[in-house]
Amino acid sequence: MTMNASGTPETENLRVGVDVGGTKIEAVLTDAAGTVLASARKAARKGGDEVVEDAVAIVRQVAGMRFDEVRSVGIGIPGLVHRDTGRVENVVNLGIENLELGGRASGMLGLPVWVDNDVNAAALGAYGTLPDRLKHGRMAFVNLGTGLAAGFVRAGLVERGDTGALGEIGHLPVDPNRMACKCGQRGCLETACSGGGLRRMWPVADPPLPDILARADGGDGEAERVLGIALHALADVVQIVAQAADPSVIVIGGGVSRAGSPLLDALRGELRNREASSGFIAGLRLTERLRLADASIPIGALGASLIAC
């Protein structure tokens, strides 16, 4: 709480954003300008009742003494989200078939609660961290988490399809290795470059990608083979996003992106190989559009605070 010139208390319009993941829940408290004032993190528990309880608890925790100044709450969660009602379906990793997340959390907190898909929330959070000069165009956010999906933001607003499937590029069955996917197809892009796909191909390290990159750099043939599969799929992802939606910025985020600059360098190398044999690809200037998400900011929770209004 701040004091105004006459010395009376002045309350602010604060928001809380909550990112519910398969293994952890993160939350941020933000002011009206979107500045992060506080953050909190806890392990996720499976089950609808548990998710509601944990989301409500972390809102109270991150707001602390300033809970009375919070005006709205946004929650990002995987699965099919009905934004008009706050109902969530089929969150497989959390054991949820059907949950009135928004309504129940709102009733317990006494605040409006908005719910959206976690990738859309993270896309909005990533957009919020871009320098202003990159904010006038379209941004694609590639979420390399356990699975793979993309979100799109234009002029500060999440772009949406008509049925909720926009950006579900992880299940495009174009990878030549034809590995089986849990969705029933073979060769889905997420089998070759998502966190889950990398763990299946490289079970000896967790997280796998930093180990694969280091060993491939040292000349380990098996690491080079697996890295080749992942980079081929990831370069396909970049091309698909760029050629279908033509964003000026493509942000790579999600847990896999924490491999950092060695990942970005390797991906740029793969794209340069494609440019070398194709003037068309060279003309797309793909490497210039690529950025890594800022790993120091909980962009999923930040984006969730921005969907609250």
Q: Which residues bind Zn ion (CB under 5 A)?
A: 171, 181, 183, 185, 188
188 or 304: CB nearest Zn ion: 188
**Backbone torsions φ then ψ of 118, nearest 5 degrees:** -65, -35
> Rounded to the nearest whole angstrom, what is the least distance from the CB of residue 188 to Zn ion in the complex?
3
CA 120, 125, 126: angle at the middle one, nearest 5?
95
54 or 190: CB nearest Zn ion: 190
> Rounded to the nearest whole angstrom, what is the least distance from the CB of residue 224 to Zn ion in the complex?
25
> Rounded to the nearest whole angstrom, what is the least distance from the CB of residue 172 to Zn ion in the complex?
8
189 or 306: CB nearest Zn ion: 189
Give the span between the Cα atoms of 169 and 181, in whole angstroms: 13
Closest CA to 57 of 47, 46, 44: 44
Burial category of 162 from C-beta neighbours within 10 Å (exposed 0-12, middle 13-18, buried 19 and up):
exposed
> Rounded to the nearest whole angstrom, what is the least distance from the CB of residue 149 to Zn ion in the complex?
11
35 or 185: CB nearest Zn ion: 185
Give the span between the Cα atoms of 48 and 67, in whole angstroms: 24
**Backbone torsions φ then ψ of 211, nearest 5 degrees:** -65, -45
1 or 174: CB nearest Zn ion: 174
> Rounded to the nearest whole angstrom, what is the least distance from the CB of residue 165 to Zn ion in the complex?
13
**How far apart, in Å, are the Cα atoms of 236 and each of 23, 98, 239, 267, 286?**
28, 34, 5, 10, 11
Name the token pair of 262. Answer: 């060695």
Lookup result for tokens 């970049």: 238
CA 152, 260, 200: angle at the middle one, nearest 5?
85
172 or 264: CB nearest Zn ion: 172
> Rounded to the nearest whole angstrom, what is the least distance from the CB of residue 186 to Zn ion in the complex?
8
